[in-house]
A and B are shown apart, each in its own frame.
Chain A
Amino acid sequence: MTPAVSDPLLAAAHTSTTEAFGFWVLAPIAVLAALGMLFVRKAVHSALLLATTMIVLAVFYLAQSGPFLGIVQIVVYTGAVMMLFLFVLMLVGVDSSDSLVETLRGQRLTGLLLALGFGVLVVGALGRSAFDDVTVVGLGTANADGNVEGIARLLFTDYVLAFEVTSALLITAALGAMVLAHRERHTPRKSQRELSEERFRSDEHPGPLPPPGVYARHNAVDFPALLPDGSTSDLSVSRVLVARGDVQDVQPAVETTEQRSIEAGEAPEDVRPGPTQGGRY
């Protein structure tokens, strides 16, 4: 290891102590975040872990004398691409977690074994290659005029055709996304009157949904309302809260109703012991 050179663009030939320290701190974070993507249940958490890995990779690009790529990684990947993922997650619904049912039997185990085998193969091949004979040239001379200038020179001379084709690709992708996301309306839009008549013809409850429960202790939106028979109303809490599992239990309230009716000398026949699910209102 050589002592750290002041100019990071020239320091690329050998890894300095600072770079080694950074690598051993950040690489485990990247691997753990990537592993976490496999095991967390919710897709939003997966997206955040992927963003962590991408930021760590951006730091590694910066450390390997690629400041342009490091910045582009942060702007394009963690900025644009991950935001796009989060927007689609919002459209699709936050409650979209994996089903645990295996459609193909033994697919999980087979996939794990295949991935393990692949990893052993790649890491083994890397371990067998003789890196000790390779002299790391480093980007000191290539980056002599600056990294951005070096990349621009290559991009607009040797790779200019690929660069032009890229523009066609981006336009095609934008058009394709618009065509895929566009929904053609085949029937005329229903007026408010038609919607109202439709609602009264169906056997659904025509009025507004019941509001959440208002109690002496809580009147938050995550408490379902109580029906006259003591059961809770599923319609009074938001569907999103139910999917997240954030709906609070109103068990104590039901018990007090029960106690009051016992104290009044009536048989609590109508009062069900717990909050029942599946009520229509």
Chain B
Amino acid sequence: MGVQNYLYLSAILFTIGAAGVLLRRNAIVVFMCVELMLNATNLAFVTFARIHGNLDGQIIAFFVMVVAAAEVVVGLAIIVTIFRTRRSTSVDDANLLKY
């Protein structure tokens, strides 16, 4: 088995996450699909770190995790705030900026 199989898996997972962002309507599920995309890129980073033989890829993956944690906290707070005012987490209902 070649190391590139990890990269194929990463590409497939990223695609599934992107499809989820486009297809699902629940804001929380959309957010989870974004997390899946971030995880897929992390796998690619770790694999490239192994191919190149230095730890920079793992450092970048570590920073991605930190930023993702911050992003989850703020994003979920926004979702809860929207749910309080509109009683819904569907991304279709948050359309006040439409007109």
Q: Which residues of A contact B (CB under 8 A)?
A: 1, 12, 15, 19-20, 23-24, 27, 30-31, 34-35, 37-38, 43, 46-47, 50, 53-54, 57, 60-61, 64-66, 68-69, 72-73, 76-77, 80-81, 84-85, 88-89, 91-92, 96-99, 101, 103, 107-108, 110-112, 114-116, 118-119, 122-123, 126, 131, 134, 136-143, 147, 150-151, 154-155, 159, 162, 166, 169-170, 172-174, 176-177, 180-181, 183
Contact = CB atoms under 8 A, between A and B. Distances in A.
Given A115-B18, A174-B73, A92 B68 contact: no
Contacts of B13: 30-31, 34, 53
Interface in B51-99: 51-56, 58-59, 61-63, 65-74, 76-81, 83-84, 89-90, 92
A180 B81 contact: yes
A81 B58 contact: no
Given A53-B39, A115-B18, A159-B59, 4 more contacts: A81-B68, A85-B32, A122-B15, A170-B70
Contacts of A57: 39, 42-43
A61 to B, nearest CB: 6
- State the majority secondary structure of interface residues on B: helix
Contact of B58 (A27, A69, A91): A69
A1 B1 contact: yes
Contact of A118 (B18, B33, B55): B18
A187 to B, nearest CB: 16
Given A66-B58, A68-B58, A80 B11 contact: no
Interface of B: 1-9, 11-20, 22-26, 28-29, 31-33, 35-36, 39, 42-43, 46-47, 49-56, 58-59, 61-63, 65-74, 76-81, 83-84, 89-90, 92
Contact of B26 (A98, A110, A134, A140): A98
Contacts of A91: 80, 83
A154 B55 contact: yes
A151 B59 contact: yes
A238 to B, nearest CB: 18
A31 B12 contact: yes
Contacts of A142: 53-55
A107 B22 CA distance: 8
A138 B76 CA distance: 38
11 contacts: A27-B9, A31-B9, A31-B16, A34-B13, A50-B36, A53-B39, A69-B65, A81-B72, A92-B80, A115-B16, A122-B14
